[in-house]
Every structure is written in C-alpha cells, then in structure tokens.
Chains A and B, each alone.
Chain A
C-alpha cells in the first residue's frame, strides 16, 4: 500500500510539473506579445528626436504645404522633384519670390521662371505669401538634408515616426484576440494533459481497489495495460460524465464565440472599382488624409473624395493610366464612381468623425489600422460595440485648450487623481451613439 501511495505521489508530482510547464508556456506567450508591443513603441519613441533646427520646422512646412505636389527626391509629382533645387534655381532670393508668388515672377518675364512654367505643362503653382524667408530657408534645408545620403538612411525610421505610436496602438488592440487564440490552444493542451493524467490516476486507483489483478497487470505488456485502462476508463461513468461535460463546455464556448463574430467583417478588403492605393498616396507621397477626406474634421462622414478632388493632381499626373482614365470617364459620363464601402456600421449606431478626429484628436490609424501601408483598404478593427466601449474606457479625453471640457476637468480633479477618460464624461451612455 505504502509503495502504491508513494507511487501516486510521484505521479502526482509529475502532473504538477506538466501543469507548471503548460502555465509557463502560457505566460511566455502573454509576455512575448507584450514585449512585441513595447518594442514598436520604443522604436517609435527612439526615432522621434532625430534632426532639429531649421530643417525640422522646414519638414513640417513641407509636409503641410508642398508635399501634395512635390517630392523631396528628383521624382516628379505634380510639380518637379525638388532634389537639387538650390543648384538649379538662379538664386535663393529668386526661390523666395517664386514660392511666395510664382505667377508674379513669371509675369516679370524671368527666363528661368518661364522655362519651369512651360516645362511643367503651364500648371500654376499655388502662392504661399504667408511663408517668411526663414520658413522657406527651413524648407530648403529640409530638402537638402533629406537628400544627403547619410541622413537618407535615418529618414526611414523618421518615416514611421508619425505611424509609430499608432502602430503600437493597433497591435495592442488586435492583441487580445491573438492572445485569446494562444490561451485557447494552451488551455486545450492543458485539458488533454489533465485528461491523460486522470487516465493514469484512474488506472492506478483501479489497481489499488482490486489488488488481485495487480500482478497480471504488472506482468502484462504496456499495450495491453493501455487497452484495459482505456476500456476501464470508458466504462467508468464518472470519467465519461466528466469528458461529456468538458466537451459540452468547449462546444458552448465555441458556439458563443462564433455567434459573437456574426456580422463582424474584420479583414474585409473588397476589390474596389478603381485600384486606388493608400500605400502610394498616404504612405509614399505622405498626402495628408484630410486633403481628400475633407469631412473628417467637419462632420459625421469623413467622405470619400469627389472626382474633382482627384483632378487637383490627376489633371496633370499619370493621365494615361487606365485606372485614372476611369475617373475621367466618370466625370465625362456624369456617372459617380461606386466605391465599395469597407467600414460598415449598422444604422442604429451613430458615429461622428469630427468628434473623434477633430475634438478627440484620434489618429486615423487608431481605428483604420496602418492605412498608409495598405494597397487595398482592409477593415482592421472589429467595429463591434465592445471594441468602441473598450476604447472609450481606455482613452483619455483630449481636454487641452478646449473650454467645453473645463467643467468636467474641474469636477474630475476634485474626485479623482486618475486621468479623465471618455467613460468618465458619459462616453458609455446609450444615447451617445444610439438615437
């Protein structure tokens, strides 16, 4: 008996070990995931302090004012590429005048100005009378810096600068579901192990209960022992019940999870009537999202740009492309382009872009994912109510310089030391979104 019980104890410790391994691997999965998220945050943060001085300011100005038509490289967008602009232009002073009001320079009959004007299809460059000499110098410095080989290498991380934190955000938001799969798999493994262990226990216990058979069992081969063990286990009603209950539990859980995913179109990436690439426009050329999605700051709908917005650039660029010809056809036939809606909210939910983008200063990528890397737009977030609520619980209210929130901030400071979250100002209430 004693030997048996020691045996049992030894076996039990084996079970503990197994459990330990399972939990360890589980924790590993969890942590590795977090580490991943932290890595990308750290990368983004590290890249931020690159550069400085005039060129830094120039970069902002360039992005806001010039990038729609010009590339810092030699490549032509609407206007010519700006690589080596200072060497080409007659003088820096000439550049100041040109950028502030190009048509005035052309009107003076300046030879180089007219040459540039004619070479670029006589498309007038926008005037920027508000830029000071120092601003323009900054822009030029940035162009210069961007084209220096040493710096070019470091512009790559700078490029992810704006995307960095949001990438982290995105992966964090997609994290739970990945994690969930891991947990599920791990749980299944643990369950199988437990099952195996139980089998062993039952075999041993059955031996203990009927000592007569002990000898024969001990002498019989492993295969036979397993066979007897299995059939014993199968005939054991307790064990059978446990297995059935476990099976039912897992099945129910799967059904519920399946039901929750009905109508969730995460990953939906339909083929659009025009093969428009966000990767090219938003990623490579860094055109500001608001340039095309004019409603995002103003109203409920971010709006898909009208054909006349496309024509701002494509009136000149890549006119021959068959995809762009489709826009021309739409305008000629007065037949609007029927895009396929990727992000669909049910009618019963009210979502307003201006509230989030303008007031809340939420980045587009927070909900739409790394749109600047998408060749075809894909729905990256689940867009379920749980997803909305989750974000409202986590997100701090952008109260800075917004007098509307002053009262909330004052009240909240009195009551709590935690930051003011959207949930604290009624962001979880039904009629914020349902009416």
Chain B
C-alpha cells in the first residue's frame, strides 16, 4: 500500500475524521455497547465479549490457582464395609452362575463380581447347551446393566411416581377393564422361563379376560407352523450340526442370528475341526449356503451361491426334486431354477443320507414344509434333527400378533402390558400400533427405558436388568437353568414377575415363588438329592439342571405334511423377477435392536462388511456399477410405498439386483448410543398370509442426494495373494499332506537357501519358566466377534464412536481381519485388490503377536515397550510418551494410540463418561489416558492372578489354568491359550503335532518369532486341477 500514490479510506468516517472513529481507530476490535457488557459477568469468560486482558487475567488466576492446588496432595479416603460379608474380600472376584436370556436368546453364564458389582460375564461350562460359549451380545450385556439412559423408577406419562401409587392406579384400572370384560393383552417377546409363564398364568387367572401374546422381532413362526403341519408338533426341533456331514442352508444365518447361534456355532465347529485340534480327525463337514446377502454363515461355507429372494422357494423345491430323484421320492411341480452348485449339493446330500441337514431361514411355512420333507427323505430326523426335544428360543406367533394389532386398532382392547417387547419399533405394523395405543384405556410397559413403545404407554413400570433378577429358563425341553441377581437393584425397578404378582393380588416375592415352583415342578424329577434345599443350593451353584442331558435322541419322526400342496404354493409365489429385490437380515452384533444402546455392540464391526455404527444398503459390485452408485452414496430403498434412505455399501457376494438391509438400527428412543444410528428397516417387512416376510420381490432402489460415510474398520478387502499372511488349502490336499497350503519362506545366503528363522540380528530372550502362547485355528474361527467384545469388557477398551472409526482410530486390541478372494491373476496387482463377485472368505483374528524379536521394542526411545521372561511383549503406559514409532514399526498393525482422553469427555459420551458406566471397569486394568499407545497384553492381569493363586497354594500352575478373555469367550474354541513350556498344556500338545502340519506364523520371513501360531484354513472343496496347477507354476 505504501508504494501506491492512492489514498484509501476505511469509510466516510475516516475521511471525515469523526471523533468516534478516532477513538476506536487504535483498538483492534470494536468496543461493544458498554451498557451490555459492564454488568455482564459472563463477559469475563464466555462469548465474544472477552477481552485479551480479561483472558490473561483469568488465565493468570487459573494458573496461580492450579499451582496452589497442586501443592496440596489430594486426600484419598479408604472406606471399609460396615459389616463385611464373611466370604467376600475386596479385590477378589466372586463368580455367580446365572443365565442370560434376552428375547429368546440364551446363554448359561458365570458373572464375575468385584466388591458387589458385576464386571464381566463368562460362559458357564456346566451347561450342555451353551457349553461355556458366549456371543457378542452376552459379553456386552454387562454394560447394559450400567446404562445411564435407564429409568430410575416408575412413571405415569412423563411424571415420576412411586411404586405404591403405580400399583394402586394400575390395579384399579385393571379391575375396571376386567369388570367390563374388556380385553387385557400381555405382549411379550419369547419367554424362556417356565416360572414366569406360571406367573402370567396366575395373572390370567385373576383377570380372565387377559391373554398372553408372544411375538419375535425376527420371527420363525413359519417354521413352527410347518412343523405343526408336517409332524403335528408346533415346535422348533433341536438341530445337531456336529453330526451332519453335509449341511445345506438356504438363507439361514445359523451361525450369526438364526434361532440359537450359540448352540449351533460350537456344534458346527466340532464338525469342521481337523488335525490335532479336532482329535486327529482328517474329515470335516461340507457346507453349502444359498443366500442373498453375504452373511457370516455364508462366509464360512465351502460352496456358496448367491440367490435372489424370489429364487428361495424354487431352490428348496429344486433341491427336493433332485434328492427325491436319487433317493426315490415324489417330485413336486415347480418351475426349475438355474443356480450354481445345486446338483452338487443334491448329490452330496443324497450320499450322506442320515448324516445330512437342510435348513432354511425362510418364514414361509410352505418353504419350511418342503425343507421338512427333504430332511425326512434324507433321514435327518432322529440323527441331525431331534424334534422330540424341542427348543423354546422362538415362540412368537405372527398370526396372534397380527390379530392383536387389528384388535387394538378397532378399539377392542382395554389394557395392554408390554414386557420385553417394543412392537412400535420392531414390528412391521408398528406405526399402526403407535396410532392405536393412545386409544387404549390402560397401557403399561415394563421396559427399562422410555423406548418407542413405552413412551406411548400410560405407565412405565421398569423391570431391572437380568443381572439384578431372579429367574429361570428352559431353553430346551428338560434343560433348565437359573438366573440369580449379582447386584441389588441399581434403580427403583421391580421385576416384571413381582409386578404381575402384585397386580394379581399375590405375595410378590418372586424369589420365593421361583423356589416353590422348582420344588413343586422340578424336584419331582430324579435329582439325586435328599432335600429340596440341597438341590436348590446345588442348582444355584452350578447354574443349570439338566435332567434330559443323558437321554439319547428318541427316534425320528415321520413326515405327514402335504409336500405337493406346499410345492404348488411355492410355484404360485416364487416367480422370476427382473427388478430389485430386498432382503432384511439380523446383524450379528445388534440383532433385533433390543440392545442397541450398548456402545460395545455398536462399535463391533459387522463380521463381513466390517462396518459399524450404521446400517446400509448392501449392493453387489455389478448392480452398483450398473446403477452408477459408489460406496457411501445415499439411496432410497422403498417397498410398498414405505421407504428409507441409506448409504450404499458395495458388498462382494451379494446377489445381483438385490439389496440387503440390517434390522435393529434406527432407534429413536433407545438411548444416546442407539438413537439416530442407521435407519429402521422393520417397516419394509411385509405380512403375507399372516406371516412376516423379511424379503420383498419388488423393491425400488433409487439414487438419493448426498452421501454418508460408512465407518468401516477394514477397508482393504483382499489379501492380494500374500501367502505369508493367510495360508489355506483344500481338504483333499490336506489329507495327502498335512502341510498343504503352508508357505515356508526361504532366505538366500552364501551357503544356499535357508529357513528365514535361521538368520537373525537379535539374541532372543530366555523364557525359563513360562512361555505364554496362543494357537488360532482358522478352520474353527467363524468371525463372530465375541472375542472382540470380551476383550473390550476385560481390558476397559474405550469406545470411540463413528467419526473416530472413520478416522481409523478405533481402539480394539483384537480385530478380526476378513479377506475376500480375488479372481485376478497373481501379477495383476491393481486387479487383485478387487474381490470376486462371489468370493471365498477367510477370517483371521489379529492381535499383538508378542514377537520374541519384537520390532516395536527396538524403536521405542523410552523403553515403554519391553520384553518379559515369559514371552510377553509388555506395554507400560506410564512410561509411554506417544512417539508412535512402535505402531509404525509393527508389522501386524495391532498397536492403538489414544488420540484423546476418552473418559469424562463429552465428545465421547459412552460408558466411561458417567459414574454408573464406570462401574463396569475392570479394576485390575489401567484406564489409559490420552497420548499413550496400548495393545493386547495377553490378559497379563489374568496371568498374574493365576500365578499368584498357584503360589498361594504352593503349587505349579495347572495346564490351561490361565485363559485370556478371548480364548475363554470363544464359542467355537478357535483360540487355544497356554504355557508352551508346560508339556501337559493343550497348546503344547497341539503344537507338537501341528508344527509338522498346519501351524504357521504370520509373516514368517521377517523372523519376528511371534508367540501366536495360526492353523491353516482348510476348505472342504473339490480340487480344481487346472487352477491348482497354475498356482504351482506361480509359486
């Protein structure tokens, strides 16, 4: 400006040299009106009125105050019990046997409590149903106990009331409804507890116009109906996947969500384990999957075929016809369908007659009838299917629920009680019910929060979490288990059963009721106990009572259904389409959405898509390309005039011209972690012939404006032919050579090629006493993510939220890498990045490998990561200065950096931002703060605890005594943890055999000598000679 001869004025004021202008010209910012700021105390601290001097004053005072405060050492209190329970010691865990049952999902569990607060849930080995296994939801359930969004007491509308008032008013209204003979309806999800059913029966006895209606958010009513017509039993049979040589599943995600994954996972894995972990077995089951979206179950299948929902019935019928042709049955007249692997599946099924199992996830009774007929032909009943030992996991009736909604709409219902049910949200006709509810005279919800249904009810009488409850469960006929409280009620809540008993005018002590029920109904069985008290204490102690356990499956069942009629109905309904089709599925983590407010589950990536904190429209690569859609583009998915907007996720393996959407998302009143995450897809389900259909044959997918980034924890999909990372083979090759598929890297030296492990820069570390190690069997790992949540709960791992996952800053110490195969040639690197249209999938759990020659240790400038004499790679948080050199140098990318302080931080408002949530913290593990690296410690707190127990008892550690959270929680026992120096431990025994077989280290050629070995993935697929030969040449 100085160089120009022109003069510039800021305005007319400067030109005129106004008095006010001159006054203000020297201050940088214009003075605000003094009348506004002078007496404004806020001006000092907040808003735009803050002046630099004020800021400095405040800052100076603050610094002085902090300095002064820092001189005073904080005073810590030590507060003992007033009356210490005799057998409880602070800092020592107590375990209580209990039962997780949530909407029909079941697991027998042990609850670990510290100073009276549950901190972890483990599987109960005593149960022959869940066999010590758990699922992600079971592991995460402890966090739901400490959910800050729960109600603190009963409510009338928005007003808090006390229990006495609630009881008085509700009883009055119930009586008035019953007096007019008005209908009373109790709407629940599946109730596994026989005693709770007795309570409901007592209530119905008091109010005869009451009726109990059960529905399931993801219904299998069609299967129950089909069994009624096929065998005269309206039940779900027991399935035994371990006895099947050939498994064919049509759209049933039986490992992830269908009926009872916890039971099916372990049985399925038993049939798939080979070599030392499978007891020397060299055969495994063969699994065919015909499905629309790529499910976790489909990812584990040997042969997977993508089919459209409209082909589902036809595939079942065609399979039936093909098997019938081989085994001599009557064929049914449906139009033929051309899909891959159908002939092969049929011939394998026929060949393994008596050891075959066909299941379908369809809710269409006609499809299920044909499946029943097919299983009948194959002789599955009495071998792989036991219909005489039915299971109770799903008892919902779509027809009754439908009838109820019609009743409610027409104003015929006088009172409704909702327990464990949120139909406004999770029923396709929820909106209709929401409209009808205000017209009902009395509506009561037992929900623990004002959810979508409860917020419309007149009263909410919250029921406590299962860890605060007495209850029992009968998941399978003749198999009982007990739920006992591990903590007294946190809030002023009351059990559903106690409330019903109160309103029925009975003594409301449910514990006594439960005990009496067991004495009258179960103690009559041959328990082997002289007194009921002994039997009761023993049952509570071990958690389960299984009188039917030793009974062999009692014979088969003869199919009496009408397969021809079912076939005709299928031919009527399933016709080829040209447009888009929709498939709704239950995701492995969130499920039906009842536990959606659990941040552990929201952040658990989907096993296949690796997406979290969202649901999405999964489209195949071809369909997305045809529609000119890319990942994260918004689309509108509409069915029958109902539509939702979702981001696109391009999913390899998805059937072309189909879209898959997960239910369980889009909660509006679920709590702060659930609300607004994804979109509610339940309204897209339709009701056909009284059954809820989770598929639609004519859906519309249209590009909408904008995009929404889906948070994915893994964005690179394929392994790009890196055999050093993932090693796999086929069963026939494995049978010939147990080392099939192994990649044994050689290094060139002056003396010729040698093993990579022979050349090293390091001296190594002695491991004189223990050498902790792990084996992960890639054949048993089904990718369910239970270990991930178990690790989160055990090690106080922070939830970071969607945006931080997008920023690739998730904190999970354990991740499950999912790799798709690629069709590209080995040299074509860019094409290798693209997954096949229908890829083979491999899951590889990845955690700190505890390298003996650890690259991270070498680069740490402050020795914050060091090696122990027990083979552990130790991480010392208080020494870490956050250079992140270690994370950069880690070949496995398992180190996590705390970019923020995630506790007491409103930007991360999850479990550690409130005192209640912090009660879930494991007191043996430090909660990490900002600026430090963390990673898997091999659960060193458990190792230390196990060693101390042994030392206190003056003995050596028993083999397998110490288990990590992941190995303990794994429902398929894919993870074996133990002391490799102890020849008696399982890990040593397996390694003894498998070191000459399937065991390999990931990235063996860099010779970091991990303590973790993987066992090769073996697929039960026929050899493809041409391609194999090609591979040999490339290798």
| Cβ–Cβ < 8 Å partners of A299 in chain B | 89-92
The answer to whether B877 and A307 touch across the interface, beta carbons within 8 angstroms, is: no
Complex Cα gap A355–B91 (Å): 13
Please give the distance in Å from A305's CB to the nearest CB on chain B.
6
| Cβ–Cβ < 8 Å partners of A338 in chain B | 77-79
Contact with B along A396-429 (1 / 0, CB 8 A): 0000011111111001000000000000011001
| Cβ–Cβ < 8 Å partners of B866 in chain A | 429-430
Number of interface residues of A (CB under 8 A): 54
Complex Cα gap A401–B91 (Å): 26
The answer to whether A404 and B957 touch across the interface, beta carbons within 8 angstroms, is: yes
Chain A residue at minimum C-beta to C-beta distance from B981: A407
The answer to whether B952 and A431 touch across the interface, beta carbons within 8 angstroms, is: no
In the complex, whether B951 has a CB less than 8 A from a CB of chain A is yes
| Cβ–Cβ < 8 Å partners of A358 in chain B | 952
Complex Cα gap A339–B768 (Å): 44
In the complex, whether B954 has a CB less than 8 A from a CB of chain A is yes
The answer to whether B91 and A301 touch across the interface, beta carbons within 8 angstroms, is: yes
Chain-B contact segment, one of A116-124, A220-228, A229-237, A346-354 = A346-354
In the complex, whether A344 has a CB less than 8 A from a CB of chain B is yes
| Interfacial residues of chain A within 255-275, with CB under 8 A of chain B in the complex | 263, 265, 268, 270
The answer to whether B876 and A431 touch across the interface, beta carbons within 8 angstroms, is: yes
In the complex, whether A331 has a CB less than 8 A from a CB of chain B is yes
The answer to whether A434 and B926 touch across the interface, beta carbons within 8 angstroms, is: yes
The answer to whether A403 and B925 touch across the interface, beta carbons within 8 angstroms, is: no
In the complex, whether A253 has a CB less than 8 A from a CB of chain B is no
The answer to whether A340 and B82 touch across the interface, beta carbons within 8 angstroms, is: no
| Cβ–Cβ < 8 Å partners of B84 in chain A | 294, 303, 305-306, 308-309
In the complex, whether A205 has a CB less than 8 A from a CB of chain B is no
The answer to whether B955 and A404 touch across the interface, beta carbons within 8 angstroms, is: yes
| Cβ–Cβ < 8 Å partners of A430 in chain B | 866, 868, 874-876, 879
| Cβ–Cβ < 8 Å partners of B81 in chain A | 306-308, 336
Chain A residue at minimum C-beta to C-beta distance from B115: A301
| Cβ–Cβ < 8 Å partners of B89 in chain A | 294-295, 298-299, 301, 303
| Cβ–Cβ < 8 Å partners of A298 in chain B | 89, 92, 952
Contact with A along B861-881 (1 / 0, CB 8 A): 000001011101011111100
The answer to whether B878 and A406 touch across the interface, beta carbons within 8 angstroms, is: no
| Cβ–Cβ < 8 Å partners of A354 in chain B | 948, 952
Assess A334 versus B926: contact at CB under 8 Å? Given A404-B955, A426-B870, A434-B877. no
Complex Cα gap A298–B949 (Å): 9
- Please indicate which of the listed interface residues A294, A308, A338 has the most CB atoms of chain B within 10 Å of its own CB: A308
Please give the distance in Å from A341's CB to the nearest CB on chain B.
4
The answer to whether B956 and A303 touch across the interface, beta carbons within 8 angstroms, is: no
Complex Cα gap A347–B952 (Å): 24
Complex Cα gap A434–B877 (Å): 8
The answer to whether A301 and B90 touch across the interface, beta carbons within 8 angstroms, is: yes
| Interfacial residues of chain A within 376-401, with CB under 8 A of chain B in the complex | 401
| Cβ–Cβ < 8 Å partners of B878 in chain A | 346, 348, 434
| Cβ–Cβ < 8 Å partners of A431 in chain B | 868, 872, 874-876, 937, 940, 944
Contact with B along A45-68 (1 / 0, CB 8 A): 000000000000000000000000
| Cβ–Cβ < 8 Å partners of A337 in chain B | 79-80
The answer to whether B869 and A340 touch across the interface, beta carbons within 8 angstroms, is: no
| Interfacial residues of chain B within 935-960, with CB under 8 A of chain A in the complex | 937, 940-941, 944, 947-948, 950-952, 954-957
Chain A residue at minimum C-beta to C-beta distance from B927: A347
Please give the distance in Å from A286's CB to the nearest CB on chain B.
23
| Cβ–Cβ < 8 Å partners of B73 in chain A | 263, 265, 268
The answer to whether A340 and B872 touch across the interface, beta carbons within 8 angstroms, is: no
The answer to whether A339 and B91 touch across the interface, beta carbons within 8 angstroms, is: no
| Cβ–Cβ < 8 Å partners of A432 in chain B | 944
Please give the distance in Å from A356's CB to the nearest CB on chain B.
11
In the complex, whether A330 has a CB less than 8 A from a CB of chain B is yes
Tally the A-B contacts, defined by beta carbons under 8 Å.
151
The answer to whether B91 and A295 touch across the interface, beta carbons within 8 angstroms, is: yes
In the complex, whether B76 has a CB less than 8 A from a CB of chain A is yes
| Cβ–Cβ < 8 Å partners of B874 in chain A | 429-431, 434-435
Say which size band chain B's interface belongs to. 35 or more
The answer to whether B75 and A270 touch across the interface, beta carbons within 8 angstroms, is: yes
Complex Cα gap A11–B925 (Å): 66
Which of A294, A330, A359, A411 is B952 in contact with, Cβ under 8 Å?
A: A359
In the complex, whether B924 has a CB less than 8 A from a CB of chain A is yes
Assess A425 versus B926: contact at CB under 8 Å? Given A307-B80, A340-B78. no
Chain B residue at minimum C-beta to C-beta distance from A268: B73
Complex Cα gap A244–B874 (Å): 45
The answer to whether A359 and B926 touch across the interface, beta carbons within 8 angstroms, is: no
Complex Cα gap A406–B951 (Å): 11
Which of A270, A336, A350, A408 is B80 in contact with, Cβ under 8 Å?
A: A336
The answer to whether B78 and A304 touch across the interface, beta carbons within 8 angstroms, is: yes
In the complex, whether B541 has a CB less than 8 A from a CB of chain A is no
Assess A435 versus B925: contact at CB under 8 Å? Given A295-B91, A337-B79, A403-B956. yes
| Cβ–Cβ < 8 Å partners of B879 in chain A | 430, 434
Please give the distance in Å from B871's CB to the nearest CB on chain A.
11
| Cβ–Cβ < 8 Å partners of A411 in chain B | 768
Please give the distance in Å from B947's CB to the nearest CB on chain A.
7
Please give the distance in Å from A293's CB to the nearest CB on chain B.
10
Chain B residue at minimum C-beta to C-beta distance from A294: B89
The answer to whether B948 and A352 touch across the interface, beta carbons within 8 angstroms, is: yes
In the complex, whether A300 has a CB less than 8 A from a CB of chain B is yes
In the complex, whether B83 has a CB less than 8 A from a CB of chain A is yes
| Cβ–Cβ < 8 Å partners of B80 in chain A | 303-307, 336-337, 339
In the complex, whether B769 has a CB less than 8 A from a CB of chain A is yes
The answer to whether A435 and B83 touch across the interface, beta carbons within 8 angstroms, is: no
| Cβ–Cβ < 8 Å partners of A346 in chain B | 878
| Cβ–Cβ < 8 Å partners of B79 in chain A | 336-339
Complex Cα gap A425–B957 (Å): 16
| Cβ–Cβ < 8 Å partners of A406 in chain B | 956
| Cβ–Cβ < 8 Å partners of A330 in chain B | 82
Complex Cα gap A326–B219 (Å): 61
Complex Cα gap A301–B90 (Å): 7
- Please indicate which of the listed interface residues B78, B872, B924, B927 has the most CB atoms of chain A within 10 Å of its own CB: B78
Chain B residue at minimum C-beta to C-beta distance from A360: B951
Assess A402 versus B951: contact at CB under 8 Å? Given A295-B89, A435-B941. yes
Complex Cα gap A97–B75 (Å): 52
Complex Cα gap A432–B869 (Å): 11
Complex Cα gap A346–B874 (Å): 19
The answer to whether A401 and B77 touch across the interface, beta carbons within 8 angstroms, is: no
The answer to whether B954 and A401 touch across the interface, beta carbons within 8 angstroms, is: yes
The answer to whether B951 and A355 touch across the interface, beta carbons within 8 angstroms, is: yes
The answer to whether A344 and B944 touch across the interface, beta carbons within 8 angstroms, is: no
| Cβ–Cβ < 8 Å partners of B876 in chain A | 430-431, 434
Cross-chain pairs A/B with CB under 8 angstroms, 11 sampled: A295-B91, A299-B92, A300-B91, A300-B92, A307-B80, A309-B84, A334-B82, A339-B80, A341-B77, A430-B879, A431-B944
- Name 17 extra pairs, CB < 8 A, besides A350-B941, A404-B951: A270-B75, A295-B92, A300-B91, A308-B81, A308-B82, A309-B84, A335-B82, A339-B77, A341-B77, A344-B76, A354-B948, A355-B948, A407-B956, A429-B866, A430-B879, A431-B940, A435-B924
Question: Chain B interface (Cβ within 8 Å of chain A)?
Answer: 73, 75-84, 89-92, 768-769, 866, 868-870, 872, 874-879, 924-927, 937, 940-941, 944, 947-948, 950-952, 954-957
Q: Which 10 A-B pairs give the minimum distances between C-beta atoms?
A: A306-B84, A300-B91, A306-B81, A431-B874, A341-B76, A341-B78, A430-B876, A301-B91, A304-B80, A299-B92
